[in-house]
């Protein structure tokens, strides 16, 4: 069994060092406006840690509640049938800007997210690989959906 030397990257002197400094210059060492976070205390000033794990002004987040029925009937074990678990996605203004959760118990008939950034305008609720319903979040932070399971 022979051992091979590990490959090494060539150092190119000042050019490499300048590139590294330029790259790191854009990386903040602490959270600030729009920075990543896990807790409100990770953010600066009056900002909060929104559910997309980014710091945001308190005025730019809201509580949103999605409620649903199944073919017009209250969500429950019987009405959800063979689909006990759903997914829920909050859809932002830009293509691909989504925040999702799964599994979401169908029988609950409600899902609430506090500190959702206001750029999220719609809610999609559905069965993975199956039916779904999408609705706009109204001014009071509510979306009412009806699944056709």
Structure confidence by residue, pLDDT tens digits, 131-140: 999 999 999 9
Structure confidence by residue, pLDDT tens digits, 26-62: 333 343 467 999 999 999 999 999 999 999 999 999 9
pTM: 0.77
Residue 48 domain flag: no
8 Å CB contact between 58 and 136: no
Residue 89 domain flag: yes
Residue 141 domain flag: yes
For the ranges 8-12, 80-84, 99-103, the lowest mean pLDDT is seen at 8-12
> Whole-number mean pLDDT of the chain?
84
- Give me the pLDDT at residue 34, please: 78
Q: Which helix (H) or strand (E) holds 38?
A: none
Average pLDDT over residues 94-109: 96
Q: Is the pLDDT of residue 99 over 70?
A: yes
34 or 17: which leads in pLDDT? 34
Residue 134 domain flag: yes
- Give me the pLDDT at residue 88, please: 98
Residue 20 domain flag: no
Residue 30 domain flag: no
Residue 38 domain flag: no
- Please provide the DSSP assignment of 94-112 as one string: STT-EEEEEEEEGGG-EEE
- Prior bond of 38 cis (ω within 30°): no
**Do the bridges between strand 132-136 and strand 122-126 make them parallel or antiparallel, or are there none, so unpaired?**
antiparallel
Average pLDDT over residues 115-122: 98
- Give me the pLDDT at residue 21, please: 35
Residue 4 domain flag: no
The sign of the CA dihedral 20, 21, 23, 28 is positive
Residues spanned by the domain of 80: 60-147
Q: Which of 140, 130, 7 is CA-nearest to residue 70?
A: 130
For the chain, the first-to-last Cα distance in angstroms comes to 61
Question: Structural domain tally of the chain?
Answer: 1
Question: What CATH number does residue 78 fall under?
Answer: 2.60.40.1120
20 or 48: which leads in pLDDT? 48
């Amino acid at each position: 069994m022979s051992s091979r030397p590990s490959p090494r990257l060539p150092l190119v002197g000042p050019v490499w060092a300048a590139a590294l400094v330029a790259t790191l210059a854009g990386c903040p060492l602490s959270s600030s406006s729009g920075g990543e976070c896990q807790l409100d205390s990770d953010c600066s000033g009056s900002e909060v840690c929104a559910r997309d794990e980014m710091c945001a002004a308190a005025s730019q987040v809201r509580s949103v509640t999605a409620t649903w029925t199944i073919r017009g009937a209250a969500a429950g074990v019987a009405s959800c049938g063979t689909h006990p678990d759903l997914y829920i996605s909050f859809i932002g203004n830009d293509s691909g800007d989504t925040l999702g959760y799964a599994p979401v118990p169908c029988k609950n008939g409600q899902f609430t997210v506090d500190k959702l950034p206001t750029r999220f305008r719609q809610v999609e609720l559905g069965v993975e690989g199956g039916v779904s319903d999408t609705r706009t979040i109204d001014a009071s932070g509510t979306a009412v959906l009806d699944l056709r399971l």
